[in-house]
Structure formats: structure tokens, C-alpha cells
Structure 1
Amino acid sequence: MGEMNARRQVELTHEDVHAGEHGTRARCLPEPWMCDVFHVDGSLRDIRVLDTTRGEWIAVLERLRVVADETEVEHPYPQLDPVRPDFADLFRVWADEPEGRGTSFSFRARLGSVWFFALPCDEEEIEFSVWPEDVVDGAGVASVLRFLVEVATASQRLALLTGEVVRYDPGMPMLISYDPVTGLTAHI
């Protein structure tokens, strides 16, 4: 199994993540530490990528459209395709055109039985949310870890799973992270 780094985080390889024993009873997760990460406490868990650009947002959404079991987009812009808008056009209307200001769009992706959703507030931080009560078994955890890896890989940046906050501060603890450069998953 993984080793502890200098910040007292356990680092796991991709193979370690998938080697956990998956139980069948409710809340039985691949590794004991995951019970704390997905403890149902009334708040969401957020998957974040910090200091991003519009291009990275678009790359992530396009990647998820390909790899997810199902995706949904909702937006208020009549000039765009109502079901499958082009993401570059969606961001352009939302962020650049006067009619898009003050409104937003939503994106949802399902991997396995777990839904992840985004309601973009700005281009500088990618954020998806997931309800911890949707992550009830090893398959749910595997979906969250896979989503984290897909987001990091598409953006080519560190992706973090955090508790629910309005704005993430780098001094706050991350629950799980995936670094596409090193290929390591870390957790507190």
C-alpha cells in the first residue's frame, strides 16, 4: 500500500487505489480512511482545479462528455443547441456577451451511480460537487476517484477533493488529490 509523505499524506499509485477490497454492505468502502471522507454530514464534497483558464474548463467538459456514462447541460441561451451545445460557444455567451452576464449554465456527469455537477461561477476555478450519500460502496468510491483522475488528466493540473466551501484556500486541507504529472493519489 502507499507510503506517507512529508505532509503526513498517504500517497497511492493508481494501482493501489484499485486494489482496495470492495465490500457489499452500505458505507463499506475500499479503504477505512474513505469512511471519513464520505461521511454524511449534510454538506457536499467538491472536486476542484485551481487557477484555471477557459480552455481548461472546456477540455474538462469535453473529456467528461466522452467518458461519462451520461451527461446533461442546461443553459438559458436560445442561440445555442438546447441539449448538446458547443462548450466554447457556451463559455463565450456566458462570460463575454452582455446577455450571458448574470446567468450561468449547469453541467452534470454520471460515472457509475454517482452524479457530479457544476454550476460555473468563474473561469479561474473548476468546481464539481458530489453528494457524499451517493457514495455508499466501493463502486461509488471508484467512480469518485475515476472522476478526479479524468478532471486532472483533462486539465493537466492537480485536482482536489475537498469539503464544501465557497472558495477554496490553498491552506485548507484537501481530502484526496490526484496529480496527473506524478500519477499519485494522495489523501489526508
Structure 2
Amino acid sequence: MGETDARGRAELPHEDVCDGEHGTRARCLPESWMCDVFHPDGSLRDIRVLDTTRGEWIAVLDRLRAVADETEVEHPYPQLDPAHPAFTDLFRLWADDPEGEATAFSFRARFGAVWFFALPCFEEEIEFSLWPEDVLDGAGVAAVLRFLVEIATASQRRALLTGEIVRYDPGMPTLISHDPVTGLTSHI
């Protein structure tokens, strides 16, 4: 899928220039259809990792905090650091405390110009969302692919890009996926 840089971030090849439905896309990936996966249609795109544990959530969030261009955390727990809380403490308060279950925390990570956001609802499914209109060109597509690779690598599970849904449905088509075991990225 690509090499890693000094910070351990995935490096993706994206040198070609192509013309697409929405105009010229500088630095578009060789697969020009990828730009069209993000045509704005009023719904989000979701990136998921299935059958996860709290430990995998924590590994993914820690990894993103280390490799993203920028991250933000919002939470309602006054006993934790407001800007940089430990994720183990966030999950403990959110899931283990009866009062914490009704409260959510949020996490956002920016790769290039694209923001990915999560509101953890279920420990057994990691879900991040993004606005397709933020993916304007090949550099945006590369940011999405890099994010997909990073969370698949951190969780050691296959990461899936799908249309917007509340819970994963096996009948829903996967637009793009990355398998950390094989290192392959595939699409429908």
C-alpha cells in the first residue's frame, strides 16, 4: 500500500493528474474512480472496524493522536485533562460508570484537509465519519486512504469505507477496504 515515513505514517503514491466529473484533480490517485466515491450526495461516509474491543479502540485513538496532523477530544469529565485525556480513562468513565454510559465523548482527527470524527457508541464497532465534500481531489482521497490504513494497522483488523449507516449491515456495499494482514486495499 505504500511506505511509512519517520513518524510511522503510511505514505501513499498519488502523482498522477486526471480530469474528473468535478474538474481537474491535481495529484489524483491512479484509480480516478476513487475521486468519484466522494461525490457529495447529502450523506456521510463511514469508516468502520468490526468486532473490536475497548483495547482496539484505545490503540486506534492513540495511533491517530500520534500520526494525525491535528486531533481534538471533547468530553464531559472534569477529573480528566480537558484537551489531552488518556483514552483508557475516557473509556473507563464512559463505559464502566453507570452515569458515564449516558454521556459521550468525541474524537476528531485531521489528515490533510479532511476531518474524521467519532462518537464512540459501541465498543465492538469502531466508527469514524467524514463529509464527502471535504474530499475535493486526489490529495483528499489519499488522506482517506491513509486514515483507512492507519486504523486498520492500529487495530490489526480490516477497515471498511461504507455509505452512512447506524450499524454495519453485511448487505451494505463496502466502497473501499484495507486489510492489514495482506496489506491490500480493495474497492467494489
* TM-score band, normalised by shorter chain: 0.7 to 0.9
Mapped to 2, the partners of 1:27 and 1:119 lie a distance apart of: 34
Q: CA offsets per residue over residues 30-84 of structure 1, 9 Å max, x none?
A: 2221133101101000000001000000000000000001000000011111110
Show the counterpart of 1:40.
Answer: 40
**Counterpart-to-counterpart distance in 2, 1:26 and 1:57:** 38
Stretches of structure 1 that go unaligned for 5 or more consecutive residues are 1-12
State the match for 2:118 in structure 1.
118
The equivalent residue for 1:130 is 130
Counterpart of 2:8?
Answer: none
* Alignment match, 2:16: 21
Q: Does the CA contact (< 8 Å) of 1:14 and 1:184 recur in 2?
A: no
TM-aligned CA distance change 1:27 to 1:78, over 3 Å: farther
Q: 1:147 to 1:78 in 2, by over 3 A?
A: same
Partner SS, residue 175 of structure 1: strand
- Matches of residues 21-170 of structure 1 in structure 2 within 5 Å? 21-23=16-18, 26=23, 28=25, 29-30=28-29, 31-170=31-170
Provide the identity percentage.
Answer: 77
Residues 22 and 139, structure 1, Cα contact 8 Å, conserved in 2: no
Q: Structure 2 unaligned segments of length 5 or more: list them.
A: 4-11
Q: Post-superposition, which runs of at least 4 consecutive aligned residues in structure 1 deviate over 2 A? A: 22-32
Kindly state the Cα deviation for residue 27 of structure 1 after the two structures are TM-superposed.
6.5
- Normalization by structure 1: what TM-score? 0.88
TM score, norm. by length of structure 2: 0.88
Q: Which has the higher contact order (CA 8 A, sep 6+)?
A: 1
What whole-Å deviation, never above 9, does each CA across 1:127-166 have from its counterpart, x for those lacking one?
0001000000111111000000000000000000000011
